[in-house]
Amino acid sequence: MRQSFLRFVRTLHITRVLVRYRLDEVLYFLPLLKPYQAVLRLNPMTWLAPRPQGSFAERLREALETLGPTFIKLGQMLSTRRDLLPDHITQELAKLQDAVPPFPSNVARQIIEAALGKPLDAIFSRFDDQPAAAASIAQVHFGQLLDGREVAIKVRRPGLQWIIDQDLAILALLADLAERYSQEGRRLRVRAVVAEYAKIIRGELDLLREAANASQLRRNFAAEPELLYVPEIYWDYCASPVLVMERIYGIPIGQREALHDAGIDFDQLSRRAAEIFFRQVFRDAYFHADMHPGNIFIDPKNGRFIAVDFGIMGSLDDASQHYLAENMVAFFRRDYRRVAEAHVEAGWVPADTNVQDFETAIRAIAEPVFEKPLNEISVASLLLRLFQTTRAFHMQTQPQLLLLQKTLVNVEGIARDFNPALNIWEVATPLLTEWLSRQRGPQGWWSELKRYFPQWGLVLPEMPVLLHNILRQTQQGELPLVIRSNDIQGIRQELHSGLQKLTYSVGGTFIVVGLGIIAALEHRLDSPVLHLPVWAWLIILPTALWAGTRWVRSIFIRRD
């Protein structure tokens, strides 16, 4: 009951802000928001409030800033979706700032002491009351631990949890209405997008999760300190509302004059920005998804990147990585047929999509781009135009790619800002080739074998017993197969072919696993394994496969 009341109060506040900035007019034309229209029309401010100044895009930005962190960060995310919104709106949303006045330092002290269960003097020898930075989610103070280490202390802003919870509940309701009453809402998978956004912003509220994100990214680049440095996390002083990390010293990447005075090579800087991004995507499948200039510093000593603020991180599954790799390689080769097929194979466009028409549409957007010199081609713009085209073919929105697109826009903007002639493809191609080699070549096969070997080690001992039970039940008629069809012979032929492929596949797997085990145990062919030399196993395993194949076929397939 209390939650419903709080949600009602928050909804009234949102309504009041929308009316103040005259954004309610848009809602009158959306059938999916009919329940909301009545509230807006009954509000007296609809008739009495003065007309606001500025364009619709400016009023939208100001309204989002007024509504607080949930809507500010939503607007920041939407600012990268030029495939959904007009350019004049995305450009205005890109100006969104979540800088807010800091909360009192005595409140920050109380939060730290309550979270860590100690007086401040028992943790820090120095605590700077003046915040170094303040944002909508948290603010940062500098200090010093008792052992003399300089630290940055991030403290979550009080009173945020209930506001964000109510905002997310309202967004979830609107998303549900959008998918229920709008075909476009279903195609865009609005509920999935809102759910992904809810996961992101709730992750930002939990500073322990941010600390874990930083540790993971630090491990990923531990062998390449010349590229990216991630501050060390001091876990003994971290809790959900408090994060303590190593203090870093660097030049903000937006201060070009200071970077120039420090002797930083701008061409190297731009190449490193692109290389860091592509390494995160194709090597680690885990990337910093908030790489705007405010979160990036440059070490004046060696020009390496220093990242901060790890509240928003992105990750890609194997299917998404494969999609990106296939599309980038196919685009670079101008193989638009493969681009279209990759979308269908990934299931991101309907299976009945006319591949030829899709290929033609993709060619129409890509050819004008590739007529330019390679150093003038924007990967982010190319992906944007691809997403715009796929809307006509009912491509469903993939939430896991939203953060990637946003990050790519930021990184490419930074790289091109320092070197407009940078060839992004030249940076990406070696990393992409390396990834494809790992996935498809012998290295990929061996990696997969090592990855799944522990699971196979648990399952394989059970296989003979399970197979014996199935065959025994089949012989005894306990697993009857009832076929109701007029084309029995065709089904039998398909069964014969499929069973033959399955048998060879399973047998081949046994051989690969067996040889892998042998290779791992011994490197000499004359060394004994289970009292037999390795060369004997190389004969026994293929022979056993052939005999087993004949045996299984004799049981399942009875010739006329």
- Catalytic positions, written as ranges: 290
CA angle 98, 102, 104 (to 5 degrees): 155
Q: Are 297 and 248 in contact (CB under 8 A)?
A: yes
Report which secondary-structure segment, H or E, holds 516: helix 488-521
d(CA 415, CA 513): 46
**Can you give the three-state secondary structure of 273-304, one letter per residue?**
HHHHHHHHHHHHCEEECCCCHHHEEECCCCCC
3-state secondary structure 430-473: HHHHHHHHHHHCHHHHHHHHHHHHHHHHHHHHHHHHHHHHHHHH
Tokens (6 digits) for 249: 């010293």
Cβ–Cβ under 8 Å, residues 92 and 61: yes
* 164 three-class SS: helix
Q: Give the residue carrying structure tokens 């979160």.
A: 295
Six-digit token string for 446: 């061996």
- Report which of 438, 416, 437 is spatially closest to residue 427, judged by C-alpha positions: 416
Is the sign of the CA dihedral 144, 146, 147, 148 positive or negative?
positive
User: By the 8 A CB rule, do 510 and 545 touch?
Assistant: yes
Which residues, 6 or more positions from 191, have their beta carbon under 8 angstroms from its beta carbon? 172, 175, 176, 178, 179
Q: Cα-atom radius of gyration of the chain, to the nearest Å?
A: 30
- Backbone φ and ψ for 102, nearest 5 degrees, come out as -70, 155
218-224: long-range pairs with CB below 8 Å, 24+: 220/280, 220/283, 220/284, 220/286, 224/279
Q: Give dist(CA 384, CA 82) in Å, integer.
A: 7
Cα end-to-end distance, the chain, whole Å: 73
150-156 vs 242-246, strand pairing mode: antiparallel
Give the other-Cβ count within 10 Å of 53's Cβ.
8
Alpha helical stretches, state H, 43-86:
45-48, 56-67, 69-78
